[in-house]
Chain A
């Protein structure tokens, strides 16, 4: 199926290049960028939770540009219908047949803006497409392009007229990221180059092609996870299930995601094997949105911070393998 064969080292080089390119326009937040690249390598999706104006769009567009892929954007509103995302069959009088008009989901990087504004039905259409990587309309199944990365955003501080994602749906995002305010130095540069913000495409070079990204993804899945690292990750996962303050720990899907993210993190670092450092690096972004606090749920900025604090504490208590 794929002509390009990558070694893990090649995947690392490609990932580093993408990382560098995105950094050109998305300043001061290398960790967010690297986690987004990790999601790309691990064939996952990103949930961005932040106030508007933090640069969510820039991140998605820069990513799309760097991998030479197609960028699509959907603004979620309460009247958005599933077919507005997936596409519709339109009767074409000329050919006298229904022709499929693909929706905005048919892109390599899809920015789903403010998904909590749409109705649950529309949300689930998006989430289904995310996990299945295909779309079914009128009993016809169409594959989505490869690579396929959804960057969904939601504003945690806004509640009115929204449908917060249920816990089970949060699970479908590989990582949840918050951007936060950049440090003053970076912010100055952002403000200074604001004139170019719309010209992401001109500032960011396309350093890869979608085919190469797919090859890099394949190489990433070949990264070795040593038993000791696997035990460490499973220990952490098991502890979330035994923690008193958590009503629901990390699911098995969460554990799978954690390991996939660790592989990608190792690949990004140019390694062919995972380290406990990868687990520690990826534990918070991949897991903090998968745990349910007792009596709090997952919604809201306060709950998010509390979950992060709890998991950070867990990391600080769990012994790392090795001497």
Chain B
């Protein structure tokens, strides 16, 4: 049954898709029972009630068809969803009908492998455009194909759901999951002393003075000024926005159980790192076996890295020396800090 439904939905042979709702099934069963009862007893009043139920079904079919007529749905806007987290897209439904509003319209993009929660429009008046939000949830990162835009209604009696598929095509890039990183996962900040690659010039510029807060480094206390103000004052440093970081991701499936799972984790971790560092204002680059994203700053750089990670393949083999392409990329900027991410 499931496969049949699937077939009907995918084939272009049926321009309209019709499915029973739960109420529709009940009404159908009741109608059949009524018909049997009417024929058996010859009770004309039962025939009359039977006629009513049939009329409801017939009118339902006719109206759901006319309720979809003259409606247009906007194209799916550019979205950059993140795997596992619902993404919202605004869809605009426009009625081009001269009269009669359209009721209870739902619209959603038909995307293989995505769960969609449709945009709902209660009441679209003639000539009116309405915008609604549709939510899509993708379980995995990657590239998804858009197969069409679906306009659907269960008007007027919620017995059937009638759907109309408007042609549309496109690709949707789903970014890997981004987690909040624990402190130990983060590469050291500039004022820390833990850098592995000592680089000349810390870039720690004096920025200003402020009152002491919990957690401040006591070594930065300005004792003389504190005495003058009768409260502790610390020196504040400008954040090291200019420090660049390479994220080196080894996208090779490690041997053993759950390798695929582990490479996904690694990709997610690389994505999280990139987002975090870009938000801190750092210059971030990404190097993988399958290619690199040259360093850059700002949110556009974050998107570039996530786009790259979205479709990043994982190498099935893990021979020695596989990290060579990464090291080659890293060598272009020796002063950068390198954060290694291995599955």
Contacts and interface: CB of A to CB of B under 8 A. Distances in A.
A–B: direct contact at CB < 8 Å = yes
Interface of A: 77-79, 81, 119, 121, 160-161, 244-245, 294-295, 313
B208 interface: yes
B207 A78 contact: yes
Contacts of B133: 244-245, 294
A78 B88 contact: no
Interface of B: 88, 90, 131-133, 207-211, 236, 238-239, 241, 281
14 contacts: A78-B207, A79-B210, A119-B210, A121-B211, A160-B239, A160-B281, A161-B238, A244-B88, A244-B132, A245-B88, A245-B90, A245-B133, A294-B88, A294-B133
A77 B208 contact: yes
Given A160-B281, A245-B133, A313-B131, A79 B236 contact: yes
A121 B213 CA distance: 10
A119 B90 CA distance: 37
Contacts, number: 29
Contacts of B211: 81, 121
Contacts of A81: 210-211
Given A81-B210, A245-B133, A161 B88 contact: no
Contacts of A244: 88, 132-133
Nearest to A82: B211
B132 A161 contact: no
A161 B131 contact: no
B210 A161 contact: no
Given A78-B236, A295-B88, 18 more contacts: A78-B207, A78-B208, A78-B210, A79-B209, A79-B236, A81-B210, A119-B210, A121-B211, A160-B239, A160-B241, A161-B207, A161-B238, A161-B239, A244-B132, A244-B133, A245-B88, A245-B90, A313-B131
A244 B120 CA distance: 10
Nearest to A117: B208
A244 B88 CA distance: 10
Chain B CB within 10 Å — which of A119, A161, A295 has the most? Answer: A161
Nearest to A310: B131
Contacts of A294: 88, 133
Contacts of B88: 244-245, 294-295
Contacts of B210: 78-79, 81, 119
A239 B162 CA distance: 29
Nearest to A317: B130
A171 to B, nearest CB: 24
B82 to A, nearest CB: 10
Contacts of A245: 88, 90, 133
Contacts of A79: 208-210, 236
Contacts of A295: 88
A294 B89 CA distance: 11
B277 to A, nearest CB: 15
B232 to A, nearest CB: 12
Contacts of B238: 161
Contacts of A160: 239, 241, 281
A161 B239 CA distance: 8
Contacts of A77: 208
A215 B172 CA distance: 61
Contacts of B239: 160-161
Chain A CB within 10 Å — which of B90, B131, B239 has the most? Answer: B131
B41 to A, nearest CB: 50
Contacts of A78: 207-208, 210, 236
B279 to A, nearest CB: 10
A127 B35 CA distance: 73
A311 B117 CA distance: 24
A121 B238 CA distance: 19
A312 to B, nearest CB: 12
A77 B90 CA distance: 40
A81 B236 CA distance: 14
Contacts of B209: 79
A85 to B, nearest CB: 13
Contacts of B90: 245
A119 B207 CA distance: 13
A245 B207 CA distance: 39
A78 B211 CA distance: 10
Shortest Cβ-Cβ A-B pairs, 7 listed: A79-B208, A244-B133, A79-B209, A79-B210, A78-B208, A245-B133, A81-B211
Contacts of B208: 77-79
Contacts of B132: 244
B107 to A, nearest CB: 13
A188 B207 CA distance: 39
Chain A CB within 10 Å — which of B132, B211, B241, B281 has the most? Answer: B211
Nearest to A244: B133
A295 B238 CA distance: 29
A103 B78 CA distance: 51
A124 B69 CA distance: 56
A294 B90 CA distance: 12
A53 B81 CA distance: 38
A305 B342 CA distance: 42
Nearest to A91: B230
A244 B134 CA distance: 9
Chain B CB within 10 Å — which of A77, A160, A244 has the most? Answer: A244
A81 B281 CA distance: 26
A81 B239 CA distance: 20
B269 to A, nearest CB: 22
A79 B241 CA distance: 20
A25 B209 CA distance: 37
A293 to B, nearest CB: 10
A245 B281 CA distance: 29
A160 B132 CA distance: 35
